[in-house]
Amino acid sequence: MEFRLIYEGPLHGQGAKSSHKWDIRRALHPQLERLWQTRPLADLAASLLAPPQPDSSSVLVEKGGLLFAPLVTQRLDLYAELSVLLFRQQPRGTLITDGGDLDNRLKTLLDGLRVPHGSLEGRRELPATPDPRPLFCLLEDDALVTKVSVESEQLLRPARPDEVVAIISVHVKKTVLNHRNLTL
C-alpha cells in the first residue's frame, strides 16, 4: 500500500516541545481518517477499528483515556518505508539553520507520525478543542519505520524560518502475510 501525506506548518528541530508533536498529529489526522474511508482500508475498518478484544485484529490503542488508530502496527505485521520531500526556507544544502538542523526536524516529524508514548506525552493540559476519537496516526511506534530518505528543497514562498511543506511518501509493507493484512 502506498500513499502520500502533506504537512504544512512549523517544524521545530532540537528541543521541540511535545505540544508541537501533537500539533503535527492533529494536522495529519484528517488525511489519515480519509485514507481509512477508502479501499482497501474501508473494507477492513469495521474489524480493525472495533474495540480491542483478546485475539482481535483491532488496531485501537488507548492511552490515558485518549484513543488512537495507527495504521502501521505490529499486530498487523506491518512496517513502513518513508520518503520525505521537505520544502523549507533555507537554500538547498543548508543543513544547520535558524529553523533547526535537518536531522532533528526529521525526528520531530517522525514523532508526530506515531502514537504518543504516554497519554499526554508532555502536554501540560488538553487543548480547547478535544482530540478526535480515535485520533488517526500513521505509526504505532516509530521503530516500525525501516527506511527513511529525505530530499530538501527551498520553499520559494514567503514563510517563517521554521515553516515547511513536507510531502511524505509512505510505502506500507508486510513482515508476514496473514489474513489481517492480506488486502493491504
How many domains in the chain?
A: 1
CA distances from 24 to 110, 139, 184 (A): 10, 13, 25
pLDDT at 96 (0 to 100): 46
Q: Which of 15, 5, 24, 21 is nearest to 101 (CA)?
A: 15
For residues 164 and 88, what is the distance between their CA atoms, to the nearest angstrom? 5
- Mean pLDDT in the chain? 87
Q: Which domain holds residue 80?
A: 2-174
Is 18 part of any domain? yes
Residue 184 inside a domain? The answer is no
Task: Tell me how far apart the alpha carbons of residues 4 and 182 are, in angstroms, rounded to a whole number.
Answer: 21
Is 121 inside a domain boundary? yes
Asked whether residue 139 is domain-assigned, the answer is yes
> What's the CA gap between 147 and 16, in Å, rounded?
23
Angle at 89 between CA 84 and CA 90, to 5 degrees: 90
> Across residues 163-170, what is the average pLDDT?
96
49 occurs within a structural domain: yes
Q: Is 182 a domain residue?
A: no
pTM of the model: 0.89
The reply to whether 87 falls in a domain is: yes
Give the model's pLDDT for residue 166: 97
d(CA 138, CA 72): 6
| Residue 118 confidence (pLDDT) | 72
What is residue 119's predicted lDDT score, i.e. its pLDDT? 62
Q: Which letter, b or e, does each residue of 4-15 get, where b requires 16 or more Cβ atoms within 10 Å of its Cβ?
A: ebebeebbbbee
Residue-wise pLDDT for 6-33, tens only, equals 999 999 876 667 788 889 999 999 999 9
What DSSP letter does each residue of the chain carry, written as one string? Answer: -EEEEEEEEE---TT--HHHHHHHHHHHHHHHHHHHTSTTHHHHHHHHTSPP-TT-----EEETTEEEEEEE-TTTTEEEEEEEEEEESSPTT--S-TT--HHHHHHHHHHHHB--SSSSTT-SS--SSPPPSSEEEEES-GGGEEEEEEEEEE--S---TTEEEEEEEEEEEESS--TTTTT-
pLDDT exceeds cutoff 80 at 150: yes
Residues 85-144: tens digit of each pLDDT: 999 887 665 544 544 577 888 999 999 999 998 766 756 667 778 788 899 999 999 999
Residue 61: pLDDT over 60: yes
Residue type, 108: T
- Tell me whether residue 181 is in a domain: no
